[in-house]
């Protein structure tokens, strides 16, 4: 057993995706997990019922003897949450922080103790073991601790070890990434219905098309560009569709979308960098 007790501080969307993935992949067992949040007791009761984990709104109970602590609250709640945890944080606990824009150095100084902190940027596909996660070591993290974090996230997908200043880019590309594809899925499904398919039929066709294309992109030796060319028979339907995307500057829009997400991560980090 690598870890005895895991505390999730913050029990929202991402915490649940990770919890589900870690439990499914048996990295941890439900009775090793304590989930904590701020006010939403109903949410904790639901998590307890669904996953059979421990839940508590008492930080002392969540953190006592926890060897792995996962910070999964929103960036704006960081100062308040760290202040509540401060009396219970110790140097022998490994902390993993998930908040966009919050540097490990800020948590270090807010906690007032040299804590080993790994910054991680997973995505919600962790819930089915398919996250693309970036991790970066803070100042006091040993090689063994970074390896533990790597092993943890490898149970729920791929892991790229990067420098902390690259985490914002990973947030823009991969942390937010699933949402871009859900946006595409929504648009394709709506178009299918508008053109005469039933909602159910359009949803199934789009789901399977995205699944097949993603799997082929991952499994094939070919690049995205080669795979696109293999679909687009010269003078055919695909080329007509792709030309229309180009006419609407969709490639530029995707570039701008990712750039703006990264700009937003940097804006969000400003209050923590003073
Ligand atoms: N969602 C995603 O796909 C990704 C999110 N992230 C990062 O993960 C973090 C969480 O995001 P997400 O799960 O979407 O957010 P949610 O809003 O779904 O969840 C936030 C959680 O934090 C809790 N919380 C707030 N204040 C405290 C506190 N003082 N002590 C303990 N818990 C507290 C909330 O509890 P309550 O409801 O009781 O207020 C809630 O459970 C964010 O920082 C985000 O940047 C990173 C990558 C991907
Ligand atoms: O939207 C957000 O701010 C969070 C971080 C990456 C994905 N969700």
pLDDT at 1 over 60: no
Residue after which a domain boundary falls, among 147, 169, 191: 169
Tell how far the Cα of 132 is from the centroid of ligand 1, in angstroms. 19
**Residues 8-19 pLDDT 10s:** 999 999 999 999
pLDDT at 202 over 60: yes
Is 220 part of any domain?
Answer: yes
Residue 22, annotated ligand binder? no
On whether both 97 and 31 belong to a single domain, the answer is yes
Tell how far the Cα of 268 is from the centroid of ligand 1, in angstroms. 15
Ligand 2 surroundings by CB, under 6 angstroms: 100, 171, 175-176
Range of the domain at 247: 177-267
Ligand nearest to the CA of 169: 2
**Residues 211-252 pLDDT 10s:** 999 999 999 999 999 999 999 999 999 999 999 999 999 999
pLDDT at 273: 85
Among protein residues, the one whose CA lies closest to atom 7 of ligand 1: 99
**Residues 79-130 pLDDT 10s:** 999 999 999 999 999 999 999 999 999 999 999 999 999 999 999 999 999 9
On whether both 164 and 183 belong to a single domain, the answer is no
Q: State the average pLDDT over residues 54-81.
A: 97
Q: State the average pLDDT over residues 183-199.
A: 98
Residue after which a domain boundary falls, among 169, 200, 226: 169
Among protein residues, the one whose CA lies closest to atom 4 of ligand 2: 176
Own/partner contacts of 13-18, CB < 8 Å, gap of 24 or more, are 13/124, 14/72, 14/98, 14/122, 14/124, 14/126, 15/70, 15/72, 16/47, 16/127, 17/122, 17/123, 17/124, 17/125, 17/126, 17/127, 17/131, 18/70, 18/72, 18/122, 18/126, 18/127, 18/156
SS3 assignment, position 48:
helix
Q: Could you identify the atom of ligand 2 that is nearest to the CA of residue 121? A: 6
DSSP code for 257? H
pLDDT at 2: 77
Is 272 part of any domain?
Answer: no
Among protein residues, the one whose CA lies closest to atom 44 of ligand 1: 99
| Share of residues in the chain with pLDDT > 70 (%) | 99
pLDDT at 70 over 90: yes
pLDDT at 58 over 70: yes
pLDDT at 50 over 80: yes
On whether both 137 and 190 belong to a single domain, the answer is no
Is 84 part of any domain?
Answer: yes
pLDDT at 162: 98
pLDDT at 117: 97
pLDDT averaged over every residue in the chain: 96
Q: State the average pLDDT over residues 165-174.
A: 97
Q: Could you identify the atom of ligand 1 that is nearest to the CA of residue 40? A: 38
Q: Is the Cβ–Cβ distance between 123 and 148 less than 8 Å?
A: no
Q: How many domains in the chain?
A: 2
Q: Could you identify the atom of ligand 2 that is nearest to the CA of residue 124? A: 7
């Amino acid at each position: 057993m690598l870890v005895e007790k895991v505390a999730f501080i913050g029990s929202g969307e991402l915490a649940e995706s990770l919890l589900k993935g870690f439990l499914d992949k048996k990295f941890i067992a439900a009775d090793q997990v304590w989930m904590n949040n701020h006010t939403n007791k109903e949410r904790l009761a639901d998590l307890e019922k669904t996953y059979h984990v421990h839940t508590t709104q008492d930080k002392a109970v969540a953190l006592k003897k926890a060897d792995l602590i996962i910070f999964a609250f929103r960036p704006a709640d960081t100062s308040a949450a760290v202040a509540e945890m401060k009396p219970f944080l110790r140097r022998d606990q490994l902390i993993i922080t998930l908040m966009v824009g919050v540097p490990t150095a800020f948590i270090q100084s807010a906690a007032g103790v040299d804590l080993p902190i790994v910054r991680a940027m997973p995505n919600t596909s962790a819930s089915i073991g398919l996250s693309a996660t970036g991790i970066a070591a803070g100042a006091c993290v040993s090689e063994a601790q970074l390896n533990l974090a790597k092993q943890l996230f490898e149970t729920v997908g791929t892991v790229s070890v990067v420098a902390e200043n690259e985490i914002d880019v990973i947030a823009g590309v991969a942390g937010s990434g699933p949402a871009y594809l859900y946006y595409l899925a929504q648009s394709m499904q709506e178009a299918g219905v508008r053109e005469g398919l039933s909602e159910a039929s359009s949803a199934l066709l789009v789901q399977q098309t995205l699944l097949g294309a993603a799997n082929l992109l991952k499994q094939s030796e070919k690049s995205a560009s080669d795979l696109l060319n293999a679909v687009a028979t010269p003078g055919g339907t695909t080329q007509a569709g792709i030309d229309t995307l180009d006419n609407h500057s969709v490639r530029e829009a995707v570039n701008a979308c990712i750039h703006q997400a990264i700009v937003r991560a940097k804006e969000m980090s400003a209050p923590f960098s003073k």
